[in-house]
Structure 1
């Protein structure tokens, strides 16, 4: 079963509180998991921010809306109980309680800042089934995706020398190579056996990474990865990074996963890393 949206949690939460006793979020969390038959994977699913589980976040937003409508009241950190208005609402035996239902209460309209509260008489907008934090996350991901596509197109159009320099700067920002100047003494100068450069794995140079970075047009196949792996053996290098502006075939990914010492970075991942570490943006 899919994780219920926060509006679907409003009536169940109100019913849990119908006994007039104090209740906590953790208690409701466990009861709702059982009621909706959620799997362990669904319960553990995190928001894109990674700061909170998606289900607990939706419980929090459902409780916030019920409190703003005056159906529940907070009585301490993480504790709440039903109000007289909440009990009266349950007596009406509603089939569901959602944002549109809560618009009948003036405190909630004020909280929402709806046009109805301003006397326009217009039908209030129907809330999307996601809480604000999740909607913001979706907008952020879409903007990031568009930026990533734009970055990748720019990278594909640059010169090979600029691309090598960009890869170098990215790896240094990620903590490899010590400094751009130190790393630049080696990157792009070996040019043997399918290896475009060597960069320090740490600032002291106790270990190194062999790098191959190319702006391939089509998908990179297993033969390229196999050749790169052979080059690592010839140099007695333990680790390598293979970067492309395109993609890798399934066979290539499986081969790299099997040998375990080569990391594959395709165009999509490259753009994500550039955004994350502020390179080229």
Structure 2
């Protein structure tokens, strides 16, 4: 559910066919993600209650020839496509869906155009959608303590924040982001919870912003992990440019040693790690409330 929470109408979609190891493209989302346990059509045996998290989409271009996954890995080796983690040979081993940057989408689209010299536009003929779309059933149960109530599940925090980002919220805290990716893999096998991106007018990444999420306390080891992510992203995708990589920790509360360390970093003129406290009360407001903590 987290993997699709941020999809919005107009987003490009690609499909990976495991059996043939091919990427199909030319598709576009027409709805937000929704929950539906009904069969996709009368008599459907594959898309039914087993796959209730759905997105309406349509085909916009008929690319008859798909891209083989080996071509994708070749581009990835050149640093052009980096979000597809290659654990066990493909990204399906860990996630059913994964996000692509705008750059990667453009590269895949160009590959499809190179393969298909005839690629007609397609008349809109997507299946009839449900009369009313039921939102994703994010489990927003509240736990924690009386003084520090928090979400019970970290994935709920991630899904809620992705929904907010998909709707363009929180620019006052995160800047004018143009893209966001959940669960971005690193070479160590770990995943950055969310990465925000902004682009220049050539669609090249202007800056990255790493968000490390914790449903309750943000501890010293969480800060060390965030700093490791910053080093990895700076040395790799940012090509050694520390100005282009930023960090923010999003949690319900922050341990004193985290705050003390960041205060010393600030006094020493080192790169800032911003602390963002979240609050959630679904009865009063459907969205997260975020505020920056000054250290």
TM-score normalised by structure 2 residue count: 0.32
More helix by share: 1
Q: Which has the higher strand share?
A: 2
Instruction: Please report the TM-score for the alignment, with normalisation by the length of structure 1.
Output: 0.34
